[in-house]
A and B are shown apart, each in its own frame.
Chain A
């Protein structure tokens, strides 16, 4: 499946990556070659094969419903770029 400029721009938008026009065309080239390589998958018959998400056939363990964490806001916010009154700040979000 060929990848086009619009696909790359759409992916960049969904992934929230700013890319210039130059970069976009570079990515179109790179991604085309990568996906061409990936397209080899289409030659395998996988009819009836269950997709495998985890390498082991393990199941989810459950955690007891206990509060084990205490307030570490100050520690966690030490590496935050912008906080005020304990809140993380972002440019105004319009609802």
Chain B
């Protein structure tokens, strides 16, 4: 069963080839068998999943099934799930049972999907390797020595290993697209505001966006159709109709104008990754697209701008973890300041502390204008680069990451880790959508092709990605792990 894409599973459930209960049990068994090696889940909610599956089967019998009724999924542990531990990969929230569901979770429940559990992640979504989790690192199923990427590393690894057909992630600077690339799956970061952020634990509010991670663009189209849409509980969610993302998948690509940002093919790009990406672009040419070089002149300022804006927002967003109303509280605080400083020092990991300190420093008196205001100005220039480019081309293409998955422990220095996100981070600053699709292997590890569109161009991105997946089968390739261990 696990060989199938989500779209194929939906068809099989509909035709009665197997029941949701059987399907759910199948995946739970695979998790049970394999996740000891991957560590892709923080919580597995087997009992609840089987109960949901039974309801789904009953609904189907009663003729009340939707397209995805009975499909098992996993949720990054950043989505609040009612009555289920929601840790955000942090000791701080190790004891936090959310009293409500994120809007995304509500929508998935309403669609009849089943949650198998909560996937591992970098603490508070801060990281590019999933090594920053309180629950330990996640392994890449393509090579257990390699990282799965981050911060949605658990979701990516679980999908790649066939432990779940699809999973939800969040992306603040590349946290869906980079792990999707590292694990050889398809991951979409929608336009900022397309998917409600309500109930998603905030890292950097003006950058965070949830999206699907699955085997194919078609799977992502189904899932995005469910989770997208306006939410009255999120002021930044956009009141704009949700198109039928599936309907548009087969539109022909003849005449599609593709831009290749020259800054995305410069120094630091692994030659094998570049080769895979250029091969992919050739496939598009064969499908009738035209290709030209474009420039996004402020690309190299995206990481510096991001490491002001994201930590600034994070330093404030994470102030609520103070040991008073929920979360970790230190033993026997001697006074209020001790309660705060010790609870937070014990509850947060190194990288989270580092970003809180950067954000606090750059917002503080005497530094605010030089850092924060400057970064917000540069942010506008970065967005303008994209808007200008989309005047000339329909989509932009390039690598999702300069290298394939690196080895666990390979990047000790935070700055070298941050530079990993060179091709993904600007997209969040600009708020545009981006998708990573598998486009080959480099040294036996997957390569992701990143496709970018202008604001709300998700339907086009999914169409462009889907057509590639009709012409190639990189997205269907599985790591040996999927068969050996599970």
Contacts and interface: CB of A to CB of B under 8 A. Distances in A.
Interface in A26-46: 27, 30-31, 33-35, 37-42, 44, 46
Nearest to A19: B345
Contacts, number: 177
A34 B232 CA distance: 38
A46 B238 contact: no
Interface string A1-12: 101000110111
A44 B367 CA distance: 17
B364 to A, nearest CB: 7
Interface string B293-312: 00000101101110110000
Interface stretch (B68-76, B180-188, B322-330, B397-405): B322-330
B341 A18 contact: yes
Contacts of B300: 40
A24 to B, nearest CB: 10
A41 B302 CA distance: 9
Residue with the highest number of chain B CB atoms closer than 10 Å, among A15, A33, A78: A15
Contacts of A52: 376-377, 379-380, 383
A75 B337 CA distance: 27
Contacts of B191: 56
Given A17-B344, A55-B431, A56-B455, A90 B357 contact: no
B378 A15 contact: no
Interface stretch (B28-36, B135-143, B258-266, B412-420): B412-420
B348 A17 contact: yes
Interface residues of B, number: 76
Contacts of A11: 357, 360-361, 364
Contact of A60 (B235, B327, B354, B357): B235
A40 B304 contact: yes
A72 interface: yes
Given A34-B414, A56-B455, A50 B377 contact: yes
Q: How large is the interface on A (under 10, 10 to 19, 20 to 34, 35 or more residues)?
A: 35 or more
Interface stretch (B95-103, B165-173, B221-229, B459-467): B95-103
Nearest to B193: A56
A17 B377 contact: no
B413 A33 contact: yes
Nearest to A48: B377
A34 B376 contact: no
B239 interface: yes
A70 to B, nearest CB: 13
Given A19-B345, A38-B308, A63 B232 contact: yes
A84 to B, nearest CB: 13
A37 B418 CA distance: 10
Contacts of B430: 55
A49 B380 contact: yes
Given A55-B429, A63-B232, A88-B324, A49 B377 contact: yes
10 contacts: A15-B315, A18-B344, A30-B414, A38-B304, A51-B379, A52-B379, A52-B383, A60-B235, A76-B99, A79-B327
Pick the 3 closest A-B CB pairs, nearest first: A55-B431, A51-B376, A18-B341
Interface of A: 1, 3, 7-8, 10-12, 14-19, 27, 30-31, 33-35, 37-42, 44, 46, 49-56, 58, 60-61, 63, 72, 75-76, 78-82, 88, 90-93
